[in-house]
Structure 1
Amino acid sequence: MNENTRGGTGAAAVDDPAGRPMVEVTDLHHSYGTGAAAVHALRGVSFTVPRGQLVALKGRSGSGKTTLLNLVGGLDTADRGRIVVDGTELAGLGENGLLELRRDRIGFIFQSFGLIPILTAAENVGVPMRLRRTDPKVREERVELLLALVGLAGQAAQRPGELSGGQQQRVAIARALANKPALLIADEPTGQLDAQTGLAVMELLRAVVRSEGVTALVATHDAQLLDLADRVLELGDGHLVGHV
């Protein structure tokens, strides 16, 4: 598989001392249902994601993008195949191990934002650190830094209902970065935003990958946003049908 970085789109991958990619997926299969009624969402998908890159997943609705993200993020279990995230094979983890992986090493960004309505922007960003029992002073400093990073230093006390869609997604990105994850997983993060706001959010994601030294795997159908990725993987009918 030729997975050369797209020309002119970003920095080289940041490898760990062992030279391992951030994500390794090998012969991944996943189905919903059984027998003749089974839907084969993924059929032998294999790829790697180098460290320090933003990799986009594209494909029509039903192509397997969300299923793939859920499997890589440890939210679901594959029928067959191998997934390694940041040097850890997911199949070897129990439920507690997967919980720790999601809490400490993976940040999730969703199309629906997923913010808690009664909490302020700052409180929403702080939630993952509260779950991790981070020292309050360290937590407050990290929240302040992250809100500044996403351009919302002045909106810390506002609740989600007082923010625009683009601002809410920025809060969600800051929250995903709270525990300094190695990997960001984003499922159609601009799906509820207009084209201009969506482009600004995707540019922010790319900037975050550079400044925070994280890796991002992002599902999107927007061709304009795909141009911002270091590489693009295309899914079709459960297969990896293209990569640039």
Structure 2
Amino acid sequence: MTQSTSGQGGATAVAEGPAGPMVRVDNLHRSYGSGAAAVHALRGVSFEVPRGELVALKGRSGSGKTTLLNLLGGLDQPDEGSVTVDGTQVVGLGEEGLLELRRDRIGFIFQSFGLIPILSAAENVGVPMRLKKVAPRERDERVALLLSLVGLGDHAAQRPGELSGGQQQRVAIARALANRPALLIADEPTGQLDAETGLAVMELLRAVVRSEGVTALVATHDTQLLGFADRVLELNDGQITDHG
């Protein structure tokens, strides 16, 4: 076991090594508010996600899916419990360590696409690599490869407003893969798409997991999409009720 220390007074990040699961969650609790008005979003959630799997997180609206994904991505901190992603303990990690984790090892895909309207598809995909200061030639080659991977090689110069919803989500997937993350976190990635396009995007995510060797955790309430997953976790009222 190796250790690396996060910056600016953060907690020490303990690396467990590549042999362990990609995600390990233990006794996770998260509440909002206090007293009788408190909302218990997560109540003792525990599970593991093996490397190289596409795992679907199933649950109706309000079941705690987004809260759980935010904790996994270091966008929020729990009241109790631990989260380990790719060997790094996320809970208590300092801001510098969290920024590094999100930049280098986690790719995010959102329901709202989150693309920058004034940038072309290629420029949107290249943003994470610019932040990481990747050399321009390497960046351009990676952008071209990723746009080809998601079937948009001929749309590199188009801006988000010139693309369909499904095409925009494909650009978002390519962007999430830009820095070769170990983990993809997707929160209702098909929520704004029609059924046929949603199925195509989910099929693409499954293909990406295979071709890029990444692990993916995809939250959805659409039962039609669950068949694309290697495993399904069901979240009800802040608790995992089915480990699939």
TM-score (norm 1): 0.92
Partner residue of 1:60? 60
Separation in 2, partners of 1:88, 1:136: 30
Asked if residue 36 in structure 1 is aligned to residue 36 in structure 2, the reply is yes
Contact 2:18-2:87 at 8 Å conserved across structures: no
Residues 68-217 of structure 1 aligned to structure 2 (within 5 Å)? 68-217=68-217
Partner residue of 2:24? 24
> Could you tell me how far 1:224 is from its partner in structure 2?
1.1
What SS is found at the alignment partner of 1:192?
Answer: coil
Partner residue of 1:50? 50
Question: Match for 2:207: what amino acid?
Answer: A
- List 4+ stretches of structure 1 deviating above 3 A: none
Structure 1 unaligned segments of length 5 or more: list them: 1-15
> Could you tell me how far 1:80 is from its partner in structure 2?
0.2
State the superposition RMSD in angstroms: 1.0
Larger RCO: 1 or 2 (CA < 8 Å, sep 6+): 1
What SS is found at the alignment partner of 2:91?
Answer: helix
Which stretch shows the higher mean deviation, 16-25 or 145-154?
A: 16-25
What SS is found at the alignment partner of 1:41?
Answer: strand
Separation in 1, partners of 2:185, 2:213: 14
Question: Match for 2:134: what amino acid?
Answer: T
Separation in 2, partners of 1:189, 1:151: 17
Contact 2:41-2:63 at 8 Å conserved across structures: yes
> Could you tell me how far 1:19 is from its partner in structure 2?
2.2
Q: 1:25/1:17 Cα in 2 relative to 1: closer, same or farther (>3 Å)?
A: closer
Question: Match for 2:200: what amino acid?
Answer: A
What SS is found at the alignment partner of 1:172?
Answer: helix
Separation in 1, partners of 2:180, 2:24: 20
Structure 2 unaligned segments of length 5 or more: list them: 1-15
Contact 2:45-2:238 at 8 Å conserved across structures: yes
Matched residue pairs, number? 229
Separation in 1, partners of 2:99, 2:33: 25
Give percent identity, aligned residues only.
79
What SS is found at the alignment partner of 1:171?
Answer: helix
Question: Match for 1:121: what amino acid?
Answer: A
Separation in 2, partners of 1:201, 1:60: 20
Separation in 1, partners of 2:96, 2:35: 31
Q: 1:202/1:41 Cα in 2 relative to 1: closer, same or farther (>3 Å)?
A: same
Partner residue of 1:9? none
TM-score (norm 2): 0.92
Q: Deviations over 1:154-180 (max 9, x none)?
A: 000000000000000000000000000
Partner residue of 2:238? 238
Contact 2:74-2:91 at 8 Å conserved across structures: no
> Could you tell me how far 1:18 is from its partner in structure 2?
4.9
> Could you tell me how far 1:91 is from its partner in structure 2?
2.1
Q: Deviations over 1:197-220 (max 9, x none)?
A: 000000000000000000000001
What SS is found at the alignment partner of 1:133?
Answer: coil
Contact 2:115-2:160 at 8 Å conserved across structures: yes
Question: Match for 1:54: what amino acid?
Answer: L
What SS is found at the alignment partner of 1:227?
Answer: helix
Separation in 2, partners of 1:91, 1:83: 6
> Could you tell me how far 1:56 is from its partner in structure 2?
0.4
